[in-house]
Amino acid sequence: MTTQRSTSTLLPTSTAGSLPKPSWLAEPEKLWSPWKLEGEELVLAKQDALRVALQEQQQAGISIVSDGEQSRQHFVTTFIEHLDGVDFENRQTVKIRDRYEASVPTVVGPVSRQKPVFVEDAKFLRSQTKQPIKWALPGPMTMVDTLFDDHYKSRKTLALEFAKILNQEARELEAAGVDIIQFDEPAFNVFFEEVNDWGIEALETAIEGLKCETVVHICYGYGIKANTDWKQTLGSEWRQYEEVFPKLQQSSIDIISLECHNSRVPIELLELIRGKKIMVGAIDVATNTIESPEEVANTLRQALKYVDADKLYPCTNCGMAPLARDVARGKLAALHAGAEIVRQELSA
Ligand SMILES: [Zn+2]
């Protein structure tokens, strides 16, 4: 049973998703980095990169492993590229998450998925390991927020359409042997009214009928300048989670993935989602400084005041794609070592 596979270790560790790509695959330390190969060479290179990313997680002792997002350029756009109804030539400049301007593709007709997007990659990962595997998909609200909509003219309608497509993909990922499916929803930290109006409803549509575990990842973004500048404006206490936690607590989502380490999120907000499993971000992805195991352990100890030990999943704050590979490796090792300290304390 998949659920047992993912919870057999106390404090199972995982990453939010992405890991740095090798320099032979794409230019390092960069988001949206273009591929260096094409055609069949690219297909094989992505598989090789996935193998390396998997091995790095395994050597670090990570419990729930992923593909490190080696086969996608961007956590939202790569999925959308595979859908009908979105025109990537026709671009508009929009403000993403009310924060930074970006040139984005346009929704020009009904959106649909003609064929699976990540299912072959997931099967490949499944064939490489017997450990529990987690797969990340973009969340419907964050997808809507990364496009210009010239067709539905309603964020809610478009989100629900995307949610149905995500559900098709998620069911196939589950059938391919994925144990945990994650939806990345950084937009949940910005558009609170919409989250409560239709964001969580869209998420429920995306996970409908799934038997594997499901996660929603809500962070303050990668360590890029637009995000770190935004964080400076948020004041001494980040209470954004407070707006969406009550409704998330009532939702069918199994696990909530959060940014905790070096963030100004008051840890007592976790009380609002008691009962859920929590992926506690104990690694800061916006700094090259590698956490000490004791720093990681300390963040986990704080979270343990509000999360039962059997529901606590040590994790990273967000993806590590923009970091240098040795930094990311060091952070994986720190995550494992910090979790191990707390495991010892819990079993003493
Ligand atoms: Zn994130």
- 104-113 tens-digit pLDDT: 999 999 999 9
Is it the case that residue 261 has pLDDT exceeding 70? yes
Task: Give residue 183 CA to ligand 1 midpoint distance, Å.
Answer: 10
- Cα 331 to ligand 1 centroid, rounded to whole Å: 16
Centre of ligand 1 to C-alpha 261, Å, is: 13
Confidence bin at 146 (pLDDT 50/70/90): very high
Q: What is the pLDDT of residues 46-91, one digit of tens each?
A: 999 999 999 999 999 999 999 999 999 988 999 999 999 999 999 9
User: What is the distance in A from the centroid of ligand 1 to the CA of 221?
Assistant: 5
Task: Please list, residue by residue across 190-205, b when 16 or more beta carbons sit within 10 angstroms of its beta carbon and e when fewer do.
Answer: bbbebbbebbbbbbeb
Burial class, 246, CB count within 10 angstroms (exposed 0-12 / middle 13-18 / buried 19+): exposed
Place of tokens 């009928």: 209
Return the pLDDT at 314. 98
| Res. 34: pLDDT tops 80 | yes
- Ligand 1 centroid–CA 171 distance in Å is 23
| Burial class of residue 233, CB neighbours in 10 A (0-12, 13-18, 19+) | exposed
Interval between CA 319 and ligand 1 midpoint (Å): 6
- Answer yes or no: CATH 3.20.20.210 is held by domain 2-347: yes
Cα 342 to ligand 1 centre (Å):
24
Rounded Cα–Cα distance for residues 30 and 325 (Å): 12
Supply 221's token pair: 């973004």
Judge whether residue 6 has pLDDT over 60: no
CA of 185 to the centre of ligand 1 (A): 8
Quote the CA–CA distance of 288 and 291 in Å, as a whole number.
Answer: 9
CA of 118 to the centre of ligand 1 (A): 19
Instruction: Please write the tens of the pLDDT for every residue from 189-231.
Output: 999 999 999 999 999 999 999 999 999 999 988 878 888 888 8
Cβ pair 65, 57 in contact under 8 A: yes
- Whole-number Å distance, alpha carbon 259 to ligand 1 midpoint, is 8
Q: What is the 252 CA–ligand 1 centroid distance (Å)? A: 21
Is residue 147 packed enough to be buried (19+ CB in 10 Å), middle (13-18) or exposed (0-12)? buried
Do 139 and 188 contact (CB within 8 A), yes or no? yes
Give percent of the chain above pLDDT 70. Answer: 98
Is residue 3 scored above 70 in pLDDT?
A: no
Strand stretches in the chain, DSSP E = 83-96, 100-113, 134-138, 148-149, 180-184, 213-218, 255-259, 277-281, 312-315
Ligand 1 center–CA 220 separation, angstroms: 6
If you measure from the C-alpha of residue 217 to the centroid of ligand 1, how many angstroms do you get, rounded to a whole number? 6
Gap from CA of 40 to ligand 1 centroid (Å): 30
Mean pLDDT score, 9-20: 96
* Average pLDDT of the residues in 30-52: 94
> What is the rounded average pLDDT for all residues in the chain?
94
Task: Give residue 184 CA to ligand 1 midpoint distance, Å.
Answer: 7
Provide the pLDDT confidence category of residue 338 given band limits of 50, 70 and 90: very high
| Distance (Å) of CA 267 to CA 274, 282, 306 | 12, 12, 8
- Indicate whether 1 pLDDT > 60: no
- Predicted structure pTM score: 0.96
Residue 278 carries which DSSP code?
Answer: E
Distance 347 CA to ligand 1 centre (A): 31
Partner residues linked to 104 by β-bridges? 92
Q: What gap in Å lies between CA 343 and CA 146, rounded to an integer?
A: 40
143 C-alpha to ligand 1 centroid (Å)? 14
Band the pLDDT of 4: cuts 50, 70, 90.
Answer: very low
Q: What is the mean pLDDT of residues 95-117?
A: 93
Centroid of ligand 1 to alpha carbon of 16 (angstroms): 7
CA distances from 168 to 117, 175, 203 (A): 10, 11, 13
Cα 241 to ligand 1 centre (Å) = 14
* Ligand 1 center to 202 CA (angstroms): 19
User: pLDDT > 90: what percent of the chain?
Assistant: 85
- Encoded amino acid at 331, one letter: K
Q: Check if the beta carbon of residue 299 is closer than 8 Å to that of residue 261.
A: yes
